[in-house]
Copies of this chain bind each other. A is one copy, B any other.
Amino acid sequence: MSLSPDLPTLRDIATPALVVDEAVLDANIARMAGFARTGSVALRPHAKTHKSSEIARRQIAAGAAGICCATVAEVEAMAAAGIGGLLLTCPIGDATKAARIAALNRKAPLAVVVDHPAQVDLLQNAVGTDDPPLLVLVDVDVGQRRTGVVGAAAVLALAKRIRDQQTLSFGGLQGYAGHVQHIVDADERKAAAAAAGEQLQAMSFALQVEGLPCAIVSGSGTGASAYDTNGPYTELQAGSYVLMDADYRRIRTAEGGLPYAPALFVLASVVSAGRPGQFTVDAGVKSLAVNGPVPDILRGAPDGCRYQFSGDEHGTIMLPDGAAAPPIGTRLLIAATHCDPTVNLFSAYHFVGHNGGVRTVPVLGRH
């Protein structure tokens, strides 16, 4: 089945709506899982992309060792849905969040990261001595300059501080090279990925020498995953591959491009068609992330149409010369070019199955 806005099952969905092509989703999941297996590295895909326990479950069924989350609310939503092997990839800053983490860990063990001694203390105070120990990784800044410890001495000091807490267990390192993932040129991206990996490798070895072996070295992303199986990583955190951002389709590999296809669309309706050369749909800034390439793939409109944001609830579609606007009510599928923040704009997905049937799947853990 090829996803089309003319599918009878799509005609009754209230627009704007978030639509997933299930066949493409499953192919993306299988491809990354197979790739990790071939590389002998575990896969812990990032749920901040999809915020869906249903997608997480499919990733685990395909072989993923667990799921990464960006917020405590995402961890809570995944844990409530029975998803195990959770890793919170962002350091927290206060006792309330630490208490929520401790409560989660009491029910099912999870792992978190820290990049500052204050966070070790917050977690140590939150986890009870009768609780299972909380697995804590040191978040290392491998060049993204966002979170993470800078420098081997500070990493070692923080790892020792974790080890010395009665209620915590040192688990290893996280180093997410966010600055590497979107580099277009293959050789340049490979070199940048290697530089980040070498830092982690050296730190991991230094810790081992000090009697602090790293059971986990977690990192990588969709853009660099092809190179990082040769790095120090025990697991890949790639997330975007599952729905596939348009921006990642620009980047080059030895084989041409990344082997993942766009699975996420916004279904919109034509709501105004009175101006020559253009028409208006009901999907704007509150339906499509603006911090990606302009949405450029349309189904349901003449070839050569261009989407422009026109406020919170509208997009203007510029028609190619001589083309007529589709009738009022016509359904269009617009490719989501930046999936994570687009998913975050909706409370639910509409999964379009292999047989054309539609199921509603909730988006979890939004602010």
Interface residues of A (CB under 8 A from B): 12, 14-18, 48, 70-72, 90-97, 115-116, 118-119, 122, 141, 145-150, 154, 178, 269-275, 278, 280, 282, 285-287, 289-291, 309-314, 316, 327-330, 340-341, 344-347, 366-367
A272→B367 contact, CB < 8 A: no
Of B18, B270, B309, B316, the residue contacting A145 (CB under 8 A) is B316
B141→A367 contact, CB < 8 A: no
How many Å lie between the Cα of A316 and that of B145 in the bound state?
9
A314-B147 contact, Cβ under 8 Å, with A90-B282, A271-B91, A328-B116 = yes
A14-B312 contact, Cβ under 8 Å, with A116-B273, A147-B271, A272-B91 = no
B367→A287 contact, CB < 8 A: yes
Question: Max chain B CB contacts within 10 Å: which of A14, A48, A119, A273?
Answer: A14
Of B12, B122, B328, the residue contacting A118 (CB under 8 A) is B328
* Min CB–CB distance A306 → chain B (angstroms): 14
B270→A93 contact, CB < 8 A: yes
How many Å lie between the Cα of A275 and that of B145 in the bound state?
7
Residues in B neighbouring A90, C-beta threshold 8 A = 271, 282, 313-314
Classify the interface of chain A: helix, strand, loop or mixed.
loop
9 A–B contacts, CB within 8 A, in A order: A15-B93, A93-B328, A116-B273, A141-B274, A145-B275, A147-B280, A150-B274, A154-B274, A290-B291
Residues in B neighbouring A17, C-beta threshold 8 A = 367
Of B146, B269, B289, B310, the residue contacting A314 (CB under 8 A) is B146
Of B72, B271, B278, the residue contacting A92 (CB under 8 A) is B271
B118→A280 contact, CB < 8 A: no
B291→A148 contact, CB < 8 A: no
How many Å lie between the Cα of A91 and that of B271 in the bound state?
6
A93→B148 contact, CB < 8 A: no
How many Å lie between the Cα of A18 and that of B280 in the bound state?
31
A286→B93 contact, CB < 8 A: no
Residues in B neighbouring A94, C-beta threshold 8 A = 15, 269, 329
